């Protein structure tokens, strides 16, 4: 068994049986080995940003890592923006980064670069395998590292001669350490804060934005009056009818400051105290109000949901969570507006949907109009590196083939990783993509005003304009094998959205929405 | 004047008057400042890989840097694959990388990452500007660094508060040091080697692949019998009727070994001794034959062309260079083949064309059939990071608006940076793109055989196959505003290629060529 074969067998043994790949010559032995380990599903993408974004979506929904296969440093850099998002989402991923043979490293061949520096940049677990006999063990450690709470990126560099070398050994899975348990004393301290009756916000982040955490937070809120909020960009938020509806913290600092007005205590549960997404002249970066005390109930890597449940048992033993009633907006009509396109989604969102949300400014109404829709998951842009929505939808659909995936995707961001559509077609994934085609980097129009930049005129505005030429996403999608239609009215959007959901495989709707700004 | 305004004015003062940009919030003051310095042309791209690849193409053709505008670390990583290629091409580029305000750096906001590590990865000149009063001086130094021979990447990190802060000062241009002159003694030593009559190859790299270097190398060859070769992937090769035709070193190590058979002396002129692009089991990485002595006439950063001319004056005072006669293949007919599509290009290549060549396996015949075409430049994939061809064509067309740009682009590589088509349409660039649509990563099919990988079967081959679904580049191009047609025969290609060249603005031809492998 060569090194590559032992690597893939070890991954499968450890439960990693999907590999999003964009290979090159140095990975050819890994590619060949896929035929000797058919349990591993190779999913080809045409660009590494799709590979890593798909692994992110997969990991968020499968609660276990996918592998990626990347071609040396230049292949890895193409995937790093979505690895940045995955790091912020605490998604478990095992990157297998092919490298030149160890014997070839000293020659500065054209594709040579410093892969270690790139691995460091991802804040991940890093290992370069140096021997075919130990690549199996290295892979088992990589899987365990990726699965260690709260989840992280593991980068395993695979030199070509380690891949093709003999004497590969399959390694047994290594169980990662369980998340640490939060001390009783910390729970008691927060319980005391809640019993004080002072104005308190509980900020829910990683590990607290799924059913267990939401139910516990709602009980606490019902019993104590504390207000729960979800962090601005949750990796995976469970919501819809039958679950508590909890608002997200705003994107704009003005919104956050309004949400935290007069709050005396901020309790962090797998989240960080809020900071402004960007800095603005004369405005604060830290958004916790003056005089507000910050308490950490549970940190990343701790058993966040269990801590919340213990806290609920302590302060809200008899309280019932406040559950969202089913409720849908009526189907709207007329030319598409920033409001009515969202109402169409809210009216028709199918049961068990997964929303990959990169709607940006166009999506402001989506949380409101989908709150009472059937239960669904929302995956958001955790790290701000745009070009996430389509790849994450690919990965979510691979992880959950029986659930409908709805990708709400702004036009500018779509173009970063547009080739994800081809992978959707190739794998016949049940993804319905709605492009919010407002023909602008609308968020930047807003930010240009907010930063108080002097003298902006036509030259500046032209760099935020996507209408010269207009982009035709119907043609682009069809060019990559995805059936597509264009919607200019709410009626058209509703009809096309329903039809797309009813038919298997991917569809795209180019929704001509006006820009908010 | 704020920092951003002083920065842009300094760039323009130093001759840098094009900025390929994909901005975000932290760059909004830079964007606004474009209206106060209208001499700077901002060119919007929809993805940073297009931004940096365009700057590479621009720098190769303009012999001076363009600026780029990149959005923090996650924006920069998207551009780094083409920066890798630019580094290998020794292209002068000034990257302006927006960053969070200095006052905001400590808060680990979502887009925060280690930009310094990324700058280091590019092997560039690196500076983080920390004061609005000195950003002008920093910019002048960045331009000088980029222009220092042989040309390099300068990374200037621009925190948002340095950009918006007051008291910006425009700095005068700084003249970079001239390339060092090669010692007479080194020239004399190589002259002695050439006079020995022993079998010698002169390998021409950066600085030697343009008219002066080629003429001198040809004279030397005529007088001494030494064989000149161009490095495998030259950044910019001038060729065509009226210039010496000099073969390129092969891509495959077998080709190189054949080209260097029985060679006793290898003279390097701005090039490195050849190494295999990849390693293969049981095959050599270093390709200089045993017993062959390696001599360096001129290294990167030295005045390579002048050294070659001195050498020619020494050993070939009376020799005339061997100049290529005009010669064209006949226009072929019939269904497209790997040979006849290239003959169409050779038959019709216009005078003064710039070829951006990422044709990969499909382009094997191109050098032969264009040797006697009118004079033209060829820009090749210097660093092996695919996705270069379309962006480099954008940059070349911006640098040389009066010359026709022909982009020969393989299908798989095209998809990495396909949104370059939109920028071509937006700027109405005279680029004729010919997609070599062979529906495969054909080079990997070849490499899969060459690496001797065991057990490759349908799973492996499916990862190299681009035909499920087929890609329709006509639709994709039209979706981005570029008129497009499909060619399945040589006659169609000839007619469409002629028409595209005759009309201003960009065109794309989806050429259905069979895969070689």
Half-sphere exposure in the Cβ direction for B244 (13 Å, CA): 26
Q: What is the mean pLDDT of residues B177-190?
A: 97
Assign B71 to helix, strand or coil.
strand
Give the closest of B419, B463, B466 to A21, CB-based: B463
Shared domain check, A154 and A18: yes
CA distance B345 to chain A (A): 25
Shared domain check, B464 and B359: yes
Shared domain check, B488 and B370: yes
Assign B128 to helix, strand or coil.
strand
B476 touches chain A (CB under 8 A): yes
> Domain count of chain B?
3
Tell me, yes or no, whether A47 lies in a domain. Answer: yes
Shared domain check, B228 and B275: yes
| Total beta-carbon pairs less than 8 A apart between chain A and chain B | 324
Shared domain check, A241 and A158: no
Tell me, yes or no, whether B326 lies in a domain. Answer: no
Shared domain check, B195 and B154: no
Domain that holds residue B90: 3-164
Taking alpha carbons only, the member of B238, B221, B231 closest to residue B270 is B231
Tell me, yes or no, whether A177 lies in a domain. Answer: no
Residue after which a domain boundary falls, among B164, B196, B214: B164
Shared domain check, B138 and B25: yes
Measured between beta carbons, which residues in chain B are less than 8 angstroms from residue A118? 121
CATH number at residue B404: 3.40.50.970
Tell me, yes or no, whether A501 lies in a domain. Answer: yes
CA pair distance B147, B145, nearest whole angstrom: 5
- For the purposes of burial, counting CB atoms within 10 Å of the CB of A458, is it exposed (0-12), middle (13-18) or buried (19 or more)? exposed
**Which residues numbered 61-80 in A keep a CB inside 8 Å of some CB on B?**
73-75, 77-78, 80
Complete edge-to-edge strand list for the sheet that includes strand B227-230 = B227-230, B200-204, B265-269, B293-298
CATH number at residue A214: 3.40.50.1220
B164 touches chain A (CB under 8 A): yes
pLDDT (tens digit, 9 = 90+) per residue, A212-252?
999 999 999 999 999 999 999 999 999 999 999 999 999 99
**Low-confidence spans in chain A with pLDDT less than 70:** none
User: Of B43, B419, B460, B464, which to mutate for an interface test with A (greatest number of A Cβ within 10 Å)?
Assistant: B460
Shared domain check, B344 and B285: no
Complete edge-to-edge strand list for the sheet that includes strand B125-128 = B41-44, B18-21, B66-71, B93-99, B153-159, B125-128
- For the purposes of burial, counting CB atoms within 10 Å of the CB of B166, is it exposed (0-12), middle (13-18) or buried (19 or more)? exposed
CA pair distance A222, A23, nearest whole angstrom: 53
Shared domain check, B497 and B359: yes
Half-sphere exposure in the Cβ direction for B360 (13 Å, CA): 28
Tell me, yes or no, whether A104 lies in a domain. Answer: yes
ipTM summary value: 0.97
* Cα dihedral B84/B480/B423/A21 (nearest 10): -10
Give the tokens for residue B177.
Answer: 């040091």
Categorize the per-residue pLDDT at B516 as very low, low, confident or very high, splitting at 50, 70 and 90.
confident
Measured between beta carbons, which residues in chain A are less than 8 angstroms from residue B481? 469-471
Tell me, yes or no, whether B202 lies in a domain. Answer: yes
Q: What is the mean pLDDT of residues B403-424?
A: 98
CA distance A136 to chain B (A): 18
Residue after which a domain boundary falls, among B133, B164, B195: B164
Shared domain check, A302 and A358: no
Shared domain check, B465 and B358: yes
DSSP string, B232-299: SS-S-EEESTTS---PBPPSSHHHHHHHTTT--EEEEES----B-SS--TT--SB-SPTT-EEEEEE-
Would the CB atoms of B422 and A415 count as touching at under 8 Å?
yes
pLDDT of residue A453: 79
Measured between beta carbons, which residues in chain A are less than 8 angstroms from residue B89? none
A505 touches chain B (CB under 8 A): no
pLDDT (tens digit, 9 = 90+) per residue, B472-490?
999 999 999 999 999 999 9
pLDDT (tens digit, 9 = 90+) per residue, A397-421?
999 999 999 999 999 999 999 999 9
Shared domain check, B189 and B153: no
Complete edge-to-edge strand list for the sheet that includes strand B431-436 = B237-239, B376-380, B354-358, B405-410, B431-436, B507-511, B484-487
Q: Mean pLDDT for chain B?
A: 97
Would the CB atoms of B277 and A463 count as touching at under 8 Å?
no
DSSP string, A249-265: PPSSHHHHHHHTTT--E
pLDDT of residue A287: 97
Taking alpha carbons only, the member of A462, A358, A368 closest to residue A417 is A358
User: Of B459, B470, B482, which to mutate for an interface test with A (greatest number of A Cβ within 10 Å)?
Assistant: B459
Contact indicator for A156, A138 with CB cutoff of 8 Å: yes
Q: Across A375-483, where does the E strand assignment appear?
A: 376-380, 405-410, 431-436
Contact indicator for A351, A214 with CB cutoff of 8 Å: no
pLDDT (tens digit, 9 = 90+) per residue, B300-351?
999 999 999 999 999 999 999 999 999 999 999 999 999 999 999 999 999 9
Tell me, yes or no, whether A169 lies in a domain. Answer: no
CA-based end-to-end distance of chain A: 60
Tell me, yes or no, whether A48 lies in a domain. Answer: yes
pLDDT of residue B195: 97
């Amino acid at each position: 068994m060569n090194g590559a074969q032992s690597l893939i067998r070890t991954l499968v043994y450890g439960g990693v049986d999907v590999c999003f790949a964009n290979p090159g010559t140095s990975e050819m032995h890994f590619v060949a080995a896929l035929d000797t380990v058919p349990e591993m599903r190779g999913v080809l993408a045409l660009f590494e940003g799709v590979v890593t974004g798909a692994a992110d979506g997969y990991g968020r929904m499968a609660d276990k890592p996918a592998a990626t296969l990347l071609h040396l440093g230049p292949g890895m850099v193409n995937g790093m923006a979505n690895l940045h998002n995955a790091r912020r989402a605490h998604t478990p991923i095992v990157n297998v980064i092919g490298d030149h043979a160890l014997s070839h490293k000293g020659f500065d061949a054209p594709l040579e670069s410093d892969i270690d520096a790139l691995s460091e940049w991802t804040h991940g677990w890093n290992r370069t395998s140096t021997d075919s006999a130990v690549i199996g063990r290295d892979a088992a450690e990589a899987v365990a590292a990726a699965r260690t709470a709260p989840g992280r990126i593991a980068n395993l560099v695979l030199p070509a001669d380690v891949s093709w070398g003999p004497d590969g050994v399959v390694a047994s899975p290594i169980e990662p350490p369980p998340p640490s348990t939060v001390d009783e004393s910390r729970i008691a301290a927060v319980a005391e804060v809640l019993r004080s009756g002072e104005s308190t916000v509980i900020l829910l982040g990683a590990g607290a934005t799924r059913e267990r955490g939401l139910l516990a937070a709602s009980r606490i809120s019902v019993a104590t009056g504390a207000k729960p909020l979800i962090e601005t960009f949750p990796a995976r938020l469970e919501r819809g009818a039958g679950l508590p509806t909890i608002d997200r913290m705003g994107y704009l600092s003005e919104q956050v400051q309004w949400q935290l007005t007069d709050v005396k205590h901020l309790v962090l549960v797998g989240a960080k105290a809020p900071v402004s997404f960007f800095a603005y002249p004369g405005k604060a970066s830290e958004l916790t109000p003056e005089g507000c005390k910050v308490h950490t109930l549970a940190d990343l890597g701790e058993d966040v949901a269990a801590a919340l449940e213990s806290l609920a048992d302590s302060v809200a033993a008899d309280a019932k969570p406040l559950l969202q009633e089913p409720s849908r907006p009526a189907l709207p009509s007329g030319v598409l507006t920033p409001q009515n396109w969202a109402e169409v989604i809210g009216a028709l969102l199918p049961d068990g949907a997964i929303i990959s949300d990169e709607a940006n400014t166009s999506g402001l109404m989506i949380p409101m109009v989908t709150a009472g829709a059937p239960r669904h998951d929302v995956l958001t842009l955790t790290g701000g590196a745009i070009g996430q929505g389509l790849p994450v939808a690919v990965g979510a659909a691979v992880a959950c083939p029986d659930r409908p995936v709805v990708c709400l995707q702004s036009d500018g961001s779509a173009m970063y990783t547009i080739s994800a559509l081809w992978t959707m077609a190739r794998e016949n994934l049940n993804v319905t993509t709605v492009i919010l085609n407002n023909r602008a980097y609308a968020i930047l129009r807003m930010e240009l005003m907010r930063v108080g930049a002097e003298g902006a005129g036509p030259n500046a505005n032209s760099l935020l304009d996507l209408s010269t030429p207009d982009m035709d996403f119907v043609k682009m999608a069809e060019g990559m094998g995805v059936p597509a239609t264009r919607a200019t009215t709410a009626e058209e959007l509703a009809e096309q959205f329903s039809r797309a959901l009813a038919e298997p495989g991917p569809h795209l709707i180019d929704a001509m929405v006006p820009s908010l700004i």
